[in-house]
Amino acid sequence: MSKPKILVARAVFPDVLERLAVHFEVDANQADEIWDKPTFIQKLVGKVGVFTTGGERIDAEVLKACPALRICANMAVGYNNFDLDAMTAAGVLGTNAPDVLTETTADFGFALLMATARRVTESEHFLRAGKWSKWSYDLFAGAEVHGSTLGIIGMGRIGQGIARRGAHGFGMNVIYHNRSRLAPEAEAECKARFVSKEELLRTADHVVLVVPYTAASHHTIGAAELAMMKPSACLINIARGGIVDDKALAAALRNQTIAAAGLDVFEGEPTVTPELLTVPNVVLTPHIASATIPTRRAMAMLAADNLIAFLSGQKPLTPLNPSVIG
């Protein structure tokens, strides 16, 4: 009996491919080529499942061209590459990879906050350029982290992880804004207080964005929101590109509307808004918040487990549109 055919759209750990190959005929992209949409569709035709990494768009056009497709398993917690409505209408399941990356991503979010507040990369560039000739009392003097006010927009698992690090590790005053308020016990664990978005922007010393990308969250932070923030404030985005208006942010950094920013995600990534590359007071990283070997392997294995479970007639672990399961 022939095995079901699946596509693995990007390079992945060899042991993950070996696990998938036990169950499926695997068409793997270990050369890690970046396919345009027509090529992606050509590769996907005739496959019942696809292992995606967050950059491969699954929309009505792809679904129409690939009627055999039954499941798209994302090796990411975010799934803005999925048109979930179109997938549901076509009876195609989407899955993601939450939980396994929570603590690793929270670690990175806090690291990015500290690097931004203390001007780590800005001072390294200065040093590497041979510009350090003497000590100075205000040389790259940055913002305090301990005891300051941490504002988190998006208080899901990762947001709560950052809140715990700030409150318990650095004695920070934690405030947050979310679509819905946390349960009292969760607020107590994070030592966090619910406030309006406007109050958060006006009072936080460090604003961290951890919201999922949707049409409603597009440009959650734009020129108007940046103008509400303290001139001494730092903005950190580990959510998704498009949550922040990157051009407005570059202007705010250049004009010192806010002090600094740390960005792990960008509008139109891997392309970066050119203006962001010309301002010194921003820390830029290439979407690596979950990038440790154990965590990335766990994410990949979870995507593989979703494919194996669903295509074997079992319940997938992390379905996004469970109504298609029946």
* Residue range 68-77, pLDDT digits in tens: 999 999 999 9
Q: Which residues of 288-306 are buried (b: 16+ CB within 10 A; e: fewer)?
A: ebbebeebbebbbbbbbbb
pLDDT at residue 326 greater than cutoff 80: no
Partner residues linked to 319 by β-bridges: 95
Domains in the chain with CATH codes: 5-100+293-324 (3.40.50.720), 102-284 (3.40.50.720)
> Distance between CA 61 and CA 76 in Å, rounded?
22
Region 57-65 average pLDDT: 98
**22: Cβ–Cβ under 8 A, 6 or more apart, which residues?**
none
* Residue range 177-225, pLDDT digits in tens: 999 999 999 999 999 999 999 999 999 999 999 999 988 999 999 999 9
Banded pLDDT at 50 (limits 50, 70, 90): very high
The label of the residue with tokens 């095995």 reads 3
At 210, is the secondary structure helix, strand, or coil?
coil
Question: Residues with catalytic annotation?
Answer: 240, 269, 287
pLDDT at residue 26 greater than cutoff 90: yes
Q: By the 8 A CB rule, do 267 and 140 touch? A: no
* Residue range 244-292, pLDDT digits in tens: 999 999 999 999 999 999 999 999 999 999 999 999 999 999 999 999 9
pLDDT at residue 146 greater than cutoff 90: yes
Region 134-149 average pLDDT: 97
pLDDT at residue 60 greater than cutoff 90: yes
Banded pLDDT at 85 (limits 50, 70, 90): very high
Closest CA to 281 of 118, 134, 150: 118
Share of the chain above pLDDT 70, in %: 100
> Distance between CA 154 and CA 163 in Å, rounded?
11
> Distance between CA 300 and CA 286 in Å, rounded?
19
Residue 293: per-residue pLDDT:
98
User: How much is the mean pLDDT over the chain?
Assistant: 97
Single-letter amino acid code for the residue at 224 = A
